[in-house]
Structure 1
Amino acid sequence: MQEFLMFLSMPALLVWLILPVALLVLAAFSGWTRNPLKLDHCWRIASRLFEASMVSTVMVGILLLLGGGVPELGRQFGLYPDGLAVWMALLVAFIGWVILRYAENYLRGDPTRARFLPWFLTTLASVLLLLFTDNLLVLAGAWVGVSLALHHLLTLYGHRPEARLAALQKFIISRVGDICVVGAVLLLYRHYGTFHLPEMLQVAYTGVSGSLALDVASVLFAVAAILKCAQIPFHGWLLRVMEAPTPVSALLHAGVINLGGFLWLRLYPVFEGFTAGHLLLLSIGGLTAVVAVLAMMSQSSVKHALAWSTSAQMGFMLFEIGMGAYTL
């Protein structure tokens, strides 16, 4: 039975491994071609890839429950298949698939349609790569890739002053967040001597003592999460991105704005107890949750109310992480 489960695990994990690469190749081709028929084919192929992602993710989740040796096999491919990765991958693939189906008709006849698809696929490929990898260098690179690809989507309507302002504000905030993530990853390497998360966790579980590098890394990761999750006082870009096309603002909920929470849920075991980063998440997240909920109820615009609601929900998520309620 165990051998049969291992046999089923191989194709599911291979799809996980190949999917981000396939999305990037399709993004490159769709950005290069000027043939309308080939571009329409790219939209259909992208939809099939997201469907394949959902099927393979469900299979990986079932095999995890059955104990098919998926974690050990996945690490041979540089993957980190666990319950968190499965739920997030399913969320990203499903919402990405829905947005793609909607945008195909929503942007038909729009001059930005040809630019939308390649950057949309690049954004989600970067998100999936971040979810799947067990190497923190790859994770940091994917984090940067998400924000750079998203910037091109936010500037689809470059003739709108508010859209340009939102993109500029998001670009600056994202670069600060990128620097924080890269710096924190390097500090973790200095403390643990490896970039591989399983090895890092193995050392952490042995009860190794903390260090200044670990404390500073927790603060940098907290700042990166706060910026990515549009927390007060860095929430203004989320309200302004409503100037972008509707599929772009919807894309934020496909594993983009909540990546700060995922980052902490993935890495919290490497930190010892309650750190300065936890305190930062607890205070800023709790403040944002309260203020954003009150602001949401006073909005006359549905889009702005949804933006404040998103900010509040992300704040509540970071507040829970700050308390150490990771399972919740």
Structure 2
Amino acid sequence: MAEILLSLVVVIPLAASVILFLSAGRLSGFLIGAIACGAISLSAIFSAILAGLLHSQLSPSLHVFFWEWMRTADFSTGIGFTLDPLSLVMILIVTWVGLLIHLYATRYMAGDPGLARFFGCMTLFVASMLLLVLSSDLLCMFIGWEGVGLCSYLLIGFWYTEPANLAAARKAFIITRVGDAAMLCGLLLLATEASSLQVDTLLQTVTAAKISQSALTFSTLLILVGTLAKSAQLPFQSWLPDAMAGPTPTSALIHAATMVTAGIYLIARLHVLFTATPLVLTIMAVVGTLTLFLAACNALVQSDLKRILAWSTVSQLGYMFLALGTGLWQVALFHLMTHAFFKALLFLCAGAIITRVHHEQDIFRMGGLFRTMPGIALAFLAGATSLAGFPLLTAGFYSKELILSSVWNASFFLAPDLILSGHVFWVVALAGAFLTSLYISRCFLLVFMGKAKTHESGQTPLLMAIPLGCLSFLALFGGMMEMPDALAHVHLFTEMVDPAHALPSADEPLWLLLVGGGIPVLGALLAWIFWGQRNPVLHETSDEPAPPQTSQPVPILAACLLPLFRIPSWLGRYDFPARLSKGVSILINGMNTFALQFRACIFMNVSHQTLMTLRQGNLLMAYTQNGRVRWYAAWIAGGLCASLALAGLT
């Protein structure tokens, strides 16, 4: 029975997508929504049943082999599924969070002429993600990996009549394809060394040290590049904010349950490979740390509601990569789960807000919406506090605190005699937590508090309100299954996903917990001083049409100092010495000018050198690929003669 249910979990959403694509819009909107939601509901129910079956049986995993795909003298691969605690957690997140998003989308997308195409892509998205997390062979997993990339392209460019949407879809597709090519090279290198891409066989080969250290390091580095591109980490982060061109349910699905979490899952699945290459773990931690801080700085200076949430996703994924860099994949998976709850909630709240304010997305043109939509405001507040990690009350606090404590006690390998302390990473991660609280509190205050700047109309339909209520509960209480020992000895999540290897117990000092819990509160208080008072310190308005935002990186220094730009007026309001105010203003303006000039110099030089290199390469290609068959024959003959000469010499 378990084998049948395991296959149906993937087959049912796949079959629903085929039906919806073949219907070509001939079905009614109600029937389209019923087919999509019914398929995801069955997958979610079967996932819950499989959880009970896996818990009741003695074996910690369930393997189902369907058929052999290919076989050579030194290599074989097949189609099969593996259900263990890791894949079980992922399919529960994908199906249940995906179900809530599908329910929301049936009402949000009602009346759209491309409804069948939309739900066909959404159900195919879920099926591809389920195939990815359940596959027992990395080559089969790569099919699901490419499937989520294809679906993201189709959904980001869903409203294809707008050129900006098509550009965003192409950008996401091209950037992730670069990572996919690197990851495929890494998989082929592993196949050459281990003669198999079966996950269990591969991990056993690595454990037995049958793969050379150089080949293992190079292959894991290539796989890491693929995961960085898929999860929008530096230097591939720019595609994810632009992906907001798609419908809001698409954004919620990409950011919460599919696509960007695929890279986190793959590293967790192959954690034995990465543990055997400590230098790659250090690179992973460094990239994650830089990403979480830079993305938080970018979120602080955005005015588009969905782009703020998009940059926050990039930042939270950076936390997950930092946790993976410590070698504790269970910690990253726990934050992945809580992030799915509060990020899906925030995006769905954003969709409800945008719909009721006539598709306005500029937060400076909103304001005062708490009085007209208190339910949406409370749901958004639940997601915002969980994202910020408010202590004791939210799921985000427990997962982020687990990451901070893990980083504090970690050490990172650079060279045989050079070990980097985790304290440096902890400081940057704590600064990122402060910025997270600052920008999401700013967003809440500007949208829901203060004076009303737009006209709100309509009511939030029940099918949109039910998912918001469920996700609000999960965003607040979904993290209490894993708590710091200073609060309670509760480790249900880590014991569930990896019962054989519990997290190492560390004597976490109480001050570490207090600092981690106090920083989000401090950020919220500072946001209230800047934007929440009746006469706020920072008066930011948007009377003129906002220019289109691009995903060009914001200077870190300028972004961090943005709240300080108007401190001189604040000091003057409270009768501080005028000379001090003027001095601070000159200092900040000078530092900001220096940062902008430095950035312009660097980027201009890099872009100029890149352009010149591409031009020279283009001239070379034009010279060699000129369409003349005689030239091609001459090159072939010359290459053959050179090869024969080299063979004769050796």
TM-score, length basis structure 1: 0.90
> What residue number does 1:183 align with?
185
Alignment of 1:102-251 (within 5 A): 102-251=104-253
Match of 1:79, SS state, is: strand
Number of matched residues? Answer: 317
Shift of 1:208: 3.3
Does residue 60 of structure 1 match 2:50? yes
Give the conservation status (yes or no) of the 8 Å contact 2:227–2:263: yes
Could you tell me how far apart the structure 2 residues matched to 1:225 and 1:43 are? 32
Match of 1:258, SS state, is: helix
Does residue 326 of structure 1 match 2:329? yes
Query: What one-letter code is carried by the residue in structure 2 that aligns with 1:21?
Result: V
Could you tell me how far apart the structure 1 residues matched to 2:153 and 2:27 are? 27
Could you report, residue by residue, the CA deviation over 1:272-295 in whole angstroms, capped at 9, with x for unpaired residues? Answer: 523443233111111011121232
Query: What one-letter code is carried by the residue in structure 1 that aligns with 2:20?
Result: S
Pick 1 or 2: higher relative contact order, CA cutoff 8 A, min separation 6. Answer: 1
Match of 2:328, SS state, is: coil
Could you report, residue by residue, the CA deviation over 1:109-145 in whole angstroms, capped at 9, with x for unpaired residues? Answer: 1122121111111111110001111011101111111
Could you tell me how far apart the structure 1 residues matched to 2:54 and 2:20 are? 35
Task: Pick from 37, 40, 44 the counterpart of residue 47 of structure 1.
Answer: 37
Query: What one-letter code is carried by the residue in structure 2 that aligns with 1:14?
Result: I
Could you tell me how far apart the structure 1 residues matched to 2:326 and 2:231 are? 17
Could you tell me how far apart the structure 2 residues matched to 1:231 and 1:196 are? 27
Shift of 1:205: 2.8
Does residue 83 of structure 1 match 2:73? no
Instruction: Sort the Cα spacing of 1:55 and 1:291 in 2 relative to 1 into closer, same or farther, 3 A.
Output: same
Does residue 282 of structure 1 match 2:282? no
> What residue number does 2:470 align with?
none
Task: Pick from 263, 266, 269 the counterpart of residue 263 of structure 1.
Answer: 266
Could you tell me how far apart the structure 2 residues matched to 1:70 and 1:282 are? 30
Could you tell me how far apart the structure 1 residues matched to 2:316 and 2:276 are? 25
> What residue number does 1:18 align with?
8
> What residue number does 2:257 align with?
254
Could you report, residue by residue, the CA deviation over 1:47-72 in whole angstroms, capped at 9, with x for unpaired residues? Answer: 2222222222223223333344362x
Instruction: Sort the Cα spacing of 1:272 and 1:106 in 2 relative to 1 into closer, same or farther, 3 A.
Output: closer
Could you tell me how far apart the structure 2 residues matched to 1:193 and 1:75 are? 21
Give the conservation status (yes or no) of the 8 Å contact 2:228–2:263: yes
Instruction: Sort the Cα spacing of 1:208 and 1:22 in 2 relative to 1 into closer, same or farther, 3 A.
Output: same
Query: What one-letter code is carried by the residue in structure 2 that aligns with 1:267?
Result: L
When structure 1 is superposed on structure 2, of 248-257 and 270-279 the one drifting more is: 270-279
> What residue number does 1:29 align with?
19
Could you tell me how far apart the structure 2 residues matched to 1:142 and 1:34 are? 24
Give the conservation status (yes or no) of the 8 Å contact 1:191–1:211: no
Shift of 1:90: 0.7
Could you report, residue by residue, the CA deviation over 1:34-88 in whole angstroms, capped at 9, with x for unpaired residues? Answer: 46446643432332222222222223223333344362x4244522111111111
Could you tell me how far apart the structure 2 residues matched to 1:304 and 1:191 are? 43
Unmatched segments (≥5 aa) in structure 1: 1-9
Does residue 74 of structure 1 match 2:76? no
Could you tell me how far apart the structure 1 residues matched to 2:233 and 2:8 are? 34
> What residue number does 2:101 align with?
99
Could you tell me how far apart the structure 2 residues matched to 1:68 and 1:264 are? 27
Query: What one-letter code is carried by the residue in structure 2 that aligns with 1:213?
Result: A
Could you tell me how far apart the structure 2 residues matched to 1:209 and 1:103 are? 48
> Over the residues paired in the alignment, what is the CA RMSD in angstroms?
2.0
Shift of 1:250: 1.1
Could you tell me how far apart the structure 2 residues matched to 1:289 and 1:35 are? 42
Give the conservation status (yes or no) of the 8 Å contact 2:275–2:327: no
Could you report, residue by residue, the CA deviation over 1:281-324 in whole angstroms, capped at 9, with x for unpaired residues? Answer: 11111101112123223333321211111000101101111221
Could you tell me how far apart the structure 2 residues matched to 1:149 and 1:300 are? 28
Could you tell me how far apart the structure 1 residues matched to 2:153 and 2:95 are? 21
Unmatched segments (≥5 aa) in structure 2: 67-79, 332-650
Give the conservation status (yes or no) of the 8 Å contact 1:222–1:280: no
TM-score, length basis structure 2: 0.47
Match of 1:234, SS state, is: coil
Could you tell me how far apart the structure 2 residues matched to 1:284 and 1:110 are? 40
Query: What one-letter code is carried by the residue in structure 1 that aligns with 2:268?
Result: L
Give the conservation status (yes or no) of the 8 Å contact 2:60–2:85: no
Does residue 294 of structure 1 match 2:283? no
Could you tell me how far apart the structure 2 residues matched to 1:305 and 1:100 are? 23
Query: What one-letter code is carried by the residue in structure 2 that aligns with 1:290?
Result: F
Give the conservation status (yes or no) of the 8 Å contact 1:282–1:323: yes
Match of 2:235, SS state, is: coil
Could you tell me how far apart the structure 1 residues matched to 2:163 and 2:129 are? 28
Give the conservation status (yes or no) of the 8 Å contact 2:194–2:211: no
Give the conservation status (yes or no) of the 8 Å contact 1:33–1:39: no
Q: For the pair shown, which has the larger CA radius of gyration, 1 or 2?
A: 2
> What residue number does 2:385 align with?
none
Richer in strand (by share) = 2
Could you tell me how far apart the structure 2 residues matched to 1:164 and 1:37 are? 27
Give the conservation status (yes or no) of the 8 Å contact 1:210–1:272: no
Could you tell me how far apart the structure 2 residues matched to 1:58 and 1:136 are? 25
Could you tell me how far apart the structure 2 residues matched to 1:248 and 1:290 are? 26
Give runs of ≥4 in structure 1 deviating > 6 Å.
none
Could you tell me how far apart the structure 1 residues matched to 2:258 and 2:142 are? 15
